[in-house]
Structure 1
Amino acid sequence: MAGLFDTFTIAKRGLNVQQGAINTTSHNIANANTEGFSRQRAVSSTTRPFGGMSRFDTCTVGQVGTGAEISSIQRIRDSFIDYQVRNELGKSGNFEVQDKFLYQVESIFGEPSDSGIQQLLGEFFDSFQELSKTPEKSSARTVALQKASALANALNYTTTQLEKQVTDAQELLQMNIKDVNTLLDQINDLNKQIAGVCAVGQTPNDLMDSRDNLLDQLSSKFGITIDRKERETLDVKAEGFQSKNNPINNLVNSSPTDENYTRLSYVKSAEIKESSGNYTIELKYHTLGNLNSEPKTVTINCTNKEDAKTISDSLMQNRVLIADKNGDVTIRQKGAEITPPTDPKTYHYSQVTLNDGDTIKSDEIKTAIFKVYENDPDTNSVNDRQIKGEIAGNQGVQKNIKEYMVKLDQIASGLAYSVNAIQTGSSDGTNNNGYELVFTNGTNDDGITSKNITLNKNLLEDVSKLNCGSTSESGERAGERALAIASIRTLKMNMSSITDVKDRTSFFAEAGISFNGANNITLQGSKEGTSVAAYYKDVINTLGVQAEAASRNSINQDKILQDLKMQRLSVSGVSLDEEMTNLIQFQHAYSANAKIISTVDELLDVVINGLKR
């Protein structure tokens, strides 16, 4: 039968329980504004009772309780909401980067404006329209040539600025790589600490909060999947890189002793080299994205020139390489064919770490490219409808910007070659009939692009060299060719077919245009083409739609993310009102237990002092 000392022990335990609950409440209040903190709750349970365990027990009315104890400090966290938040964080990171860069691209084009390419195109054609009326006036020729120069400069500037945006996106990738590697190392260290604390029977709530914060930050960089293991440890994997074709090691391992984990490195350069018809790529990369480290080199053997260009472009655009813990690049090599019952045809893939100076095949380097902005059977199993992370945004937006650069090249080629053809009366770039070109690449008109297009300086030095008439004997008042240049405003060309034009002859073939009539003055357009001005307008409209969609996606995603974060706060966040209410409850319970101790003390005093009498 329980006695007074047992009652004293129960009250003492009660004090400890309430003290622990007050300590937990105090910890919650202290961290009310700590980012990522999950409120905690002291979970109490009854201790083992007396009596009723055998037939020799003297207690006949049942078991007598022995009080309570704190069995655990519980972290209030909903793992499903965490999964949703991280999933949406990945999408948000991608949309934010797209929105940011497309907004900057819109600013570069600056349409509509009085100084944009669209306005300058109109002024260029208007000036040649006016020149056709008074071709004998040098002032009219000067104005036309100045408008041509302004248009060429605008194309140069726009392309240069777009190239800078591509470079900026690639530099951000290097920063992302360093951030990711740092986050992974911190998560790995916390994993080990958490496993150690759990091994002695305790729950490291604050350490798990810190790890969850880092996982949130990591999920904004690219998609991740998380597998929970024993002792509250985690396996963290890269989403889209666990398929049978290109399985990579975990980013973080649940086992503290497993050092085989994946990190990321940064491509410095991928230079194409040719020797005796054989093409190779000299790949240089910085381990773990550390630009202060000496770059390592790998030689890539390519099957042909096109293969080399494709691989080089992919390396420079994606910039991120899959590596081991030291930053050395790893590749997956196909081994023997295996045929498990669930799959009629698969292969075994072994991971190989490359050493500085190694030589590999072009197919093998594909498995080392961390490409996350689109699905690529050679590289990943990314879901195109679930593109996630800032890295994907930086990789993907380069593709969009380069597409606009290609369209500007098409516009520059269409304008330059058609004007030069009318000016010289020749569709063959090797025969200019003794006339000066209007647009050049600085020397001639081979391979004119938006980046190198420029006005022929010889014409600026002597405007009389501008050919306005039908022939050299037409007289200074003849303006047929100036009028023909002005009519390019409505000339239809197959603009989208103008790709990698090397000279005027190939331009005529790809654009689908030809001379019509004597003296090679008027150009015959394509039936299904579009004019230079209309094509540029379509480019601007497409950019506007893309930028608006990116902005809308970013705003909508932010709303979804904020809603989920509020849901998480409603579950895990600290409510000061609730904590203060709990504190009052625990205070009264503590006082009640203290009163029991005081009562027992009085009873013991009666018993002990009464025996003396």
Structure 2
Amino acid sequence: MTSTFHGLETARRGMFTQQVALQTTGNNISNANTPRYSRQRVNFSQTEAYPAAARNRPQIPGQMGTGVEAGSVQRVREGFLDTQFRGENNKYGYWNSRSEALEKMEDIMNEPSDNGLAKTMDRFWQSLQDLAVNPEDSGARSVVRQRGLAVAETFNYLSNSLSSIQEDMKSQAELVGKEVNSYLTQIANINQQIKEIEPHGYLPNNLYDERDKLVDQLSTLVNVKVTKEPSGGLALPMAEGSYSIELLDVKGNSFATPVKLIDSAINPQTINTVSINYDSTSKMAESITVVGATPINITDVSGGKLKGLLEAYGYEDNGSVKGIYPEMLNNLDGMASQFANKFNEVHQAGTGLDGQTNYSFFDLTGTSGAAKSIKLHSDTNNLDHIAAAKSAFNGDGSNALALADVKNTDLAFTGGTATLQSFYEGAIGKMAVDAQQAVRLTDNSAVLSDAVEQRRTSVSGVSLDEEMTNMIQYQHAYNASARNITVIDEMLDKIINGMGVGGR
């Protein structure tokens, strides 16, 4: 038969295990509002039954249970939801950075408004028509000069402002690159701590949570894939091991030669830093370099905030410069160049009040940077040099009308011919459509990532109602085990103190 003390050990194990469960429940309740905390649970398992199968086993009806033990304290986490959240978070990082870049551009271009380039040029064309009516009037000539100056200054302002924001985008991209390396360093340090703990049979749940939080934040910046490398030793089967972090291509797949930011199979504490390379001529982003890997073209990089900022700043693609800000700056340069050259051509063919020809109205240095460099020519310092006439006859304002008609003249732009107004409207319209698309997809990505986060929270988050129910359940089990010990104690007291007293 079994020992009477057998029941004491079974009850003791029950009390100890329920106590561990109560402590774990208390920890969950304490962290109910801790960001990214994953609730934990105790995995109960039966202890080995008695007696073991053997020739000299005691003759009892069958194997009897010997109680329960806390096998492990495990966090509740769904890996699929983590992967899905990071994918949506990566899209949000890309579209949000793109949306912010376009929003800043819209603020600078300020169209339609009374202060934008379109309205400024309309006033300039109107002043030329007024001059055609009174070609000898100095007031009308002064207005033409001032309105021309306003056009040049507006081009200058737009180009300088866009260039300034473009440089800000470059600075932000550099900071994001450093942020990526910082997250990688923190993940690598946690990898090392986990690798030192797991072989002893423990599950460092708090370190798991902290590492997953860092990976979530990293996924906003670049698109990454996480794989797990076992720690070895006496690590439990459910131990998560060290994380290897891999950079993905534009399709969300691994590169032909995998680009490892952290390779835990080699060393979980070593990171391969990320840096941005720039073309020596255009100064635009050329590639992203990861230590130990071939430089990656910007077009081959997947989403994330880093790519969104580099696309806004500008990048090299097969020898040509592309990007949100370079495109708009090129449009402004093309407009300023074509406008100034055509206007000067018509103006030089006309005659000023002094009867002379070949006067220039605008001055600029080439097509590249035309919007930044355009200004009034020194000839316009003398109002008599404004060529309103086609001949030297007084009262002739026909050339002023020809100058005003430059507005409706087809000019050669990249991609075809168009009038100044239609080309500018096309550029502004494209910017508006791109901004609208970026805002829409930012909102969509935010909704999807929030939806995944809610599902993830429903799995990993702490429910106070559920924890209170568990607490009561564990409390009753603890009390029952304690009561069981009391009953066995009374039985032992009867055996020891109440039996064998006959005949005294």
**TM-score, normalised by the number of residues in structure 1:** 0.74
Q: Identify if the C-alpha distance between structure 1 residues 463 and 94 changes in structure 2 by more than 3 Å, giving closer, same or farther.
A: same
What is the one-letter code of the residue matched to 1:388? Answer: G
Q: 1:394 aligns with which of 306, 309, 314?
A: 309
Tell me the equivalent position of 1:67.
67
- In the TM superposition, what whole-angstrom CA distance separates every residue of 1:425-457 from its partner, at most 9, and x where no partner exists? 29xxxxxx853311102xx67867111111124
Q: How does 1:319-338 map to 2 (within 5 A)?
A: 320-323=288-291
1:234 partnered with 2:243: yes
CA contact (8 A) 1:417 1:445 kept: no
CA contact (8 A) 1:439 1:445 kept: no
Tell me the equivalent position of 2:108.
108
Q: 2:358 aligns with which of 435, 439, 444?
A: 435
Q: Distance in 2 between matches of 1:238 and 1:211?
A: 17
Q: What SS does the corresponding residue of 1:4 show, helix, strand or coil? A: coil
Q: Distance in 1 between matches of 2:106 and 2:226?
A: 38
Deviation at 1:247, TM superposition (A): 4.7
When the two chains are superposed, the root-mean-square deviation of aligned CA atoms in Å is 2.1
Structure 2 unaligned spans of 5+: 232-240, 314-322, 351-355
1:531 partnered with 2:415: no
Q: Distance in 1 between matches of 2:5 and 2:266?
A: 47
Q: 2:483 aligns with which of 574, 590, 595?
A: 595
Q: 1:555 aligns with which of 440, 443, 458?
A: 443
Q: What SS does the corresponding residue of 2:221 show, helix, strand or coil? A: coil
Q: 2:412 aligns with which of 469, 494, 503?
A: 494
Tell me the equivalent position of 2:333.
409
1:468 partnered with 2:378: no
Q: Distance in 2 between matches of 1:596 and 1:416?
A: 99
Deviation at 1:271, TM superposition (A): 4.4
Q: How does 1:342-421 map to 2 (within 5 A)?
A: 367-368=294-295, 370-372=296-298, 374-375=299-300, 382=301, 387-398=302-313, 399-421=323-345
Deviation at 1:371, TM superposition (A): 4.3
Q: How does 1:445-460 map to 2 (within 5 A)?
A: 449-459=370-380
Q: What SS does the corresponding residue of 2:418 show, helix, strand or coil? A: coil
1:425 partnered with 2:349: yes
Q: Distance in 2 between matches of 1:257 and 1:229?
A: 10
Deviation at 1:157, TM superposition (A): 0.5
What is the one-letter code of the residue matched to 1:495? Answer: F
What is the one-letter code of the residue matched to 2:247? Answer: A
Deviation at 1:4, TM superposition (A): 2.2
Q: Distance in 2 between matches of 1:447 and 1:55?
A: 97
What is the one-letter code of the residue matched to 2:303? Answer: K
CA contact (8 A) 2:88 2:445 kept: yes
CA contact (8 A) 2:185 2:271 kept: no
Deviation at 1:11, TM superposition (A): 0.4
Q: How does 1:248-263 map to 2 (within 5 A)?
A: 248=259, 250-255=260-265, 257=267, 261-263=271-273
Q: What SS does the corresponding residue of 1:220 show, helix, strand or coil? A: helix
Deviation at 1:52, TM superposition (A): 5.5
Q: Identify if the C-alpha distance between structure 1 residues 150 and 590 changes in structure 2 by more than 3 Å, giving closer, same or farther.
A: same
Q: Distance in 2 between matches of 1:72 and 1:7?
A: 24
1:604 partnered with 2:496: no
Q: Distance in 2 between matches of 1:534 and 1:247?
A: 47
Q: Distance in 1 between matches of 2:52 and 2:334?
A: 93
Relative to its length, the structure with more helix (as a share) is 2
Percent of residue pairs identical: 31
Q: What number of residue pairs does the alignment pair up?
A: 475
Q: What SS does the corresponding residue of 1:36 show, helix, strand or coil? A: coil
What is the one-letter code of the residue matched to 2:230? Answer: E
- In the TM superposition, what whole-angstrom CA distance separates every residue of 1:471-505 from its partner, at most 9, and x where no partner exists? 3xx224211211101011111122225xxxxxxxx
Tell me the equivalent position of 1:298.
none
Q: Distance in 1 between matches of 2:367 and 2:56?
A: 109
Structure 1 unaligned spans of 5+: 273-308, 324-329, 333-366, 376-381, 427-432, 498-527
Q: 2:434 aligns with which of 529, 546, 555?
A: 546
